[in-house]
Structure 1
Amino acid sequence: MGQTLSEPVTKKESASCANENYLVGSSCMQGWRVDMEDAHTHLLSLPDDPKCAFFAVYDGHGGSKVSQYSGINLHKKVVAQKEFSEGNMKEAIEKGFLELDQQMRVDEETKDDVSGTTAVVVLIKEGDVYCGNAGDSRAVSSVVGEARPLSFDHKPSHETEARRIIAAGGWVEFNRVNGNLALSRALGDFAFKNCDTKPAEEQIVTAFPDVITDKLTPDHEFIVLACDGIWDVMTNQEVVDFVREKLAEKRDPQSICEELLTRCLAPDCQMGGLGCDNMTVVLVGLLHGQSPDTLFTKCARPAVFTGVNNEDGDQNQIQQDISRVINNFDGEQRVNAANQEEEEDDNEPAPANFQV
C-alpha cells in the first residue's frame, strides 16, 4: 500500500465517445493516493486499421512515467507487428507488449525510471475480441448479465508465476515478488528483469501477456476494463450487476463509470487499504450496429447464468499453489532463489524467504 492523503482527491477525469458499434465512457480518480499513476486508452478505430477498436487500462506503481508512456504507445506497437496485418492478433499483442518494454529500456525518457505498470487491453475487430493482460488489472464482459472474465490476475503467489520467479533467481515473500511487488507481470519494473540467462518471457517480472480470445454474439452487452482499485472492492459479478442496472435505467457510460468510482472509494484508509487506491474504469457498451436503446433494453432483461463466471482464486487456493511450488523445488534451488543460505539441523537448506 502506497502513501495516502489525509483526505481523498475525488475530482474525476471523464470522457465518452461513440459510433455505430460502441458506446464508451471512462473515468479516473486519484482517490486517497498521493499521486495519480494510472492511464487509459479508448480508440473506436485505430488509425492504421479503422475496423479495429482498442481499449486499455494501465495501473502504474512507483510513478506514472511507464503507465503514461504505455498509454500513448502500446497500441502503436501492436499494430506495427507483421502478425497484426496477417490477422494473428494474439501474437501481435504478445510481441507488442515485449517490444514496448524493450523500447522503454533504451528510451531516454524511461530507461532510468523505476516505475512499472499493469496493462489490460481489449482489441475488437470484426466481432472477434482479443484481451491481452500483464498484471492485476482486469477485463470482464457481460453476457446476458453474467460476468465472463477476459483476463486473470498475475499474482506471485500463483503456481506458474512463482515457478518463473524462482527459476529466474527471485523469491516470493508475503505474497510479493522479492517481498516487494504485489504483481508478477508488468511493463517497466526493470529492476526485476536483469537475469542474463533468461529471455524476456522468463524474467522474475515479465511483460509477456496472457491473451484470451472471444467472439461477440448479440448476447454480449458490454465490457468493463478497470484497475485493481475497483476489483479489490467489488467482484466481477458485482461490477457487471452495478453497470447493467444503470444501463437499464438508460444512464450514459461516463456517468456510470463516475458512480462506480464513488461506490468503490473507501470512507477512510484505516482498514487495510481497500478502496484507497487510484481508480480507473473504461466501460465499452456493445451496440452491434443498433441503437443505444437496444442495449438499454437488453440490460433490463433478467440475467442468465451458465456457470462460466470465474472470479480470481480465493486465498485458500493461493496458499495451496504456494505449497505445491515449494514442494516442487529442492532446497538448494530455493536458497539460491532467495539469495540466502540457512542451515537446518539436518544440514538441508530451507526456503527462508518463501513464505506460506
Structure 2
Amino acid sequence: MGAYLSSPIRDKESEEGENDAYKFGISAMQGWRTDMEDAHAAVLDLPDGGAKAALFAVLDGHGGAEVARFVANHLAHELVSTEGYQKGDVERALVQAYLRMDELLVKEEHREELKALRGKETEEEGGDGGPMVINGTSLPESLLEALGMPAGGAGFQIKLVRSGPGGRGGIAIDDIEEEGQDSERSGATIVEVVEGEEAEEEEEAAGAGGEGGDAAETSAAAAAAAERNSKRKREDKKAMEVDAAAAAGMHVWASRGMDKTATEVDAAAAAADAPGGGGGGGAQQREAEQGEDEEGEVPEDERTPEKGDDDYVGPSAGCTAVCAVVRGGELYVANAGDSRCVLSRAGTAVAMTQDHKPMDTEEYARIMKAGGFVADGRVNGSLNLSRALGDLEYKQTKELGPEEQMVTAFPEVRRITLQPGDEFLLLACDGIWDVLTNQEAVDFVRERLAAGRTPKEVCEDVCDRCLAPDTGGCGKGCDNMSVVVVLLKEWTTPGAAHK
C-alpha cells in the first residue's frame, strides 16, 4: 500500500563528477510518492595508495529519510577507517562499515543530526494509511496458537498497530464488518496488536463493540482514532554537510534531500491545472491499494518511534544499501536489501547483487531462528526486506550476533576483476528495477551513452523512462527513483558504449 500525490514530482536532484579514471552521473526523483526517502553518495578520491579507488552508493530509505541520508554522509569515512580497509581487505572493510552504520545510529551524539536529516517532526499519532491487515492464513501456527486463533487462521485477520513512545502494550479484539453486512455474517475477526498510549483506547473501542456492545460506537471510536492518526507536520528538508569525509580529505557527493512539502505539492498541482499546465489533481492526494506493496515500505502507523530522552534506542527508519568500490582494478559490491548494481561488460549485464527478501530460503531461516515470522512476504508482517541498515526494532535479540538478527545489516559482498570491455556501472533503487530488467537497463543506458548523452543526462532519462503515467496500475513506476551511472574510463573499449 502506499500514498501517492495527485501528480508526480518530476524535479530531479542531479550531480556529476569526473577524474582520469571515472566519470559519473547521479539523478534522483521523488515521482508519485509523498516523500523522497532515497539518498546517494559518490567519492572519486578514496585514500588508496595510488590504486585509484572510488565509491558509489544508493540508499533507499523507508520509514523516513534520515537513515539513508545519514549513511550517505558517513559511509565513506567509516569505510576507510576500518581495519579491513587499512589492511587492503576491501570485502572485509565493507562488512565492517555496514555494521558500523547500525552502531552509529544508536549513539546519543548522532541524535540531533538524525533529527535534522529527517527534516520534519512526526507526531506520535503517526500514519495516514490505516493499520496493516494480514490474513490469518498467512501466519505460522505457533503465532495463531499464541493469539488464541483456530488452526489455519481461516476467517481471521491481524491488524498490527504501534503508537506512542513509552506506552504499555496490549491486544484488542474487534469484529470486522463489511459494508452492507453485520458482524455475524461477515465471519471475520480482527486482532489488533497494540503498543503504546493508544492501547487503552483500542481496547475500550473493542469492548464497546464486542459481545453485546454497540458496533456503531466501535466504528465511531475507530474513526476518531483514524482522524487523529492522519495528522502530520511537514517541514522542508535540511541540508547536511559531510564534515567527517571532508576532514579525511575526501570530496563526497551526497544527496541533500529534495522532497516537496504538502504546500509545495499543492502549489505545483494548481499551476499544472492552469491552461497549458498539463493537468493534475489539485490539492488532493490519492491513496491507492497496490497489487504489489512498495518494496521495503513500512506503513507509517507501524513504525516504532524513538524512545524518550532517557531511553534512546535510535531512529525507527531504515534503508537498503548498495555500495560499489573500485580499487586496483577490482570491483567490490556490497548489498543489503533490494537495490542493485549491474556491470555492463561489452553490453552484457553482469549482476553484482541479488535482492534480499524474507521468503528467500536462507533469509527465512534466519528470521525464524531469531524469533520472527514472515506474513504476506514481510518480516513480522511489516518489512518487505530481510537485510537493511537501521530498522533497529528487528535487531533486538541480544543473544544473537548482528548477522543473525531478523533483519541484518550484514551485506552480501561480491568481487570481480575488471577487464577490457567493462564499460560502466549502474546502481539504482528498486523504483528502477520494478520497471526494467538488468539487461533492459544496460541496453537503455548504453544506447544513450553511444548517442552522446552524459552520464548525468542518462540517469535523468532512466528516471523519466521508469515513471508511470498514473497510479492506476500495480504500483510499478510510482516509487522514488535514484540512479548512478559510472563510466569506467580505463577499461572501456574505444568506441563501444560511449566516447
Q: What TM-score bracket applies, with the shorter chain setting the length?
A: 0.7 to 0.9
Q: Give the equivalent residue in structure 2 for 1:153.
A: 355
Q: Does 1:59 align with 2:257?
A: no
SS in 2 for 1:263: helix
Q: Does 1:22 align with 2:220?
A: no
Q: Which amino acid aligns with 1:82?
A: E
SS in 2 for 1:206: coil
Q: Does 1:190 align with 2:388?
A: no
Q: Give the equivalent residue in structure 1 for 2:32.
A: 32
- 2:323 pairs, out of 118, 121, 124, with 121
> Which of 1 and 2 has greater Rg?
2
Q: Does 1:167 align with 2:369?
A: yes
CA contact (8 A) 2:423 2:491 kept: no
The whole-number CA distance in structure 2 between the counterparts of 1:221 and 1:143 is: 6
- Shift in Å, 1:178: 1.0
CA contact (8 A) 1:97 1:207 kept: yes
> CA, structure 1 residues 49+25, in 2 after alignment: closer, same or farther (shift >3 Å)?
farther
The whole-number CA distance in structure 1 between the counterparts of 2:491 and 2:335 is: 27
CA contact (8 A) 1:146 1:240 kept: yes
Q: Give the equivalent residue in structure 1 for 2:457.
A: 255
> CA, structure 1 residues 289+224, in 2 after alignment: closer, same or farther (shift >3 Å)?
closer
Q: How does 1:161-310 map to 2 (within 5 A)?
A: 161-288=363-490, 297-299=495-497
The whole-number CA distance in structure 2 between the counterparts of 1:27 and 1:72 is: 17
CA contact (8 A) 1:138 1:150 kept: yes
Q: CA RMSD in A?
A: 1.6
> CA, structure 1 residues 94+300, in 2 after alignment: closer, same or farther (shift >3 Å)?
closer
The whole-number CA distance in structure 2 between the counterparts of 1:276 and 1:41 is: 23
The whole-number CA distance in structure 1 between the counterparts of 2:76 and 2:416 is: 19
The whole-number CA distance in structure 2 between the counterparts of 1:46 and 1:270 is: 44
CA contact (8 A) 2:47 2:80 kept: no
- Shift in Å, 1:8: 0.6
- Shift in Å, 1:300: 7.3
Q: Which amino acid aligns with 1:73?
A: H
Q: Please, what TM-score do these two structures have when normalized by structure 2?
A: 0.58
Unaligned runs of 5+ in 2: 115-312
Stretches of 4+ moved more than 6 A in 1? none
The whole-number CA distance in structure 2 between the counterparts of 1:147 and 1:287 is: 18
What is the number of equivalent residue pairs in this alignment? 297
CA contact (8 A) 1:24 1:254 kept: yes
Q: Deviations over 1:210-263 (max 9, x none)?
A: 000011111100000000000011000000000010111121111100010000
The whole-number CA distance in structure 2 between the counterparts of 1:56 and 1:75 is: 9
The whole-number CA distance in structure 2 between the counterparts of 1:300 and 1:14 is: 20
The whole-number CA distance in structure 1 between the counterparts of 2:491 and 2:410 is: 34
The whole-number CA distance in structure 2 between the counterparts of 1:188 and 1:251 is: 36
CA contact (8 A) 1:131 1:151 kept: yes
Q: Give the equivalent residue in structure 2 for 1:46.
A: 46
SS in 2 for 1:170: coil
The whole-number CA distance in structure 1 between the counterparts of 2:357 and 2:28 is: 24
Q: Which amino acid aligns with 1:266?
A: A
SS in 1 for 2:46: coil
CA contact (8 A) 1:48 1:79 kept: no
Q: Give the equivalent residue in structure 1 for 2:80.
A: 79
The whole-number CA distance in structure 2 between the counterparts of 1:58 and 1:119 is: 5
SS in 2 for 1:194: coil
Q: Which amino acid aligns with 2:72?
A: G
Q: Give the equivalent residue in structure 2 for 1:108.
A: 111
CA contact (8 A) 2:105 2:314 kept: no
The whole-number CA distance in structure 2 between the counterparts of 1:223 and 1:300 is: 13
CA contact (8 A) 1:20 1:289 kept: no
Q: Give the equivalent residue in structure 1 for 2:178.
A: none
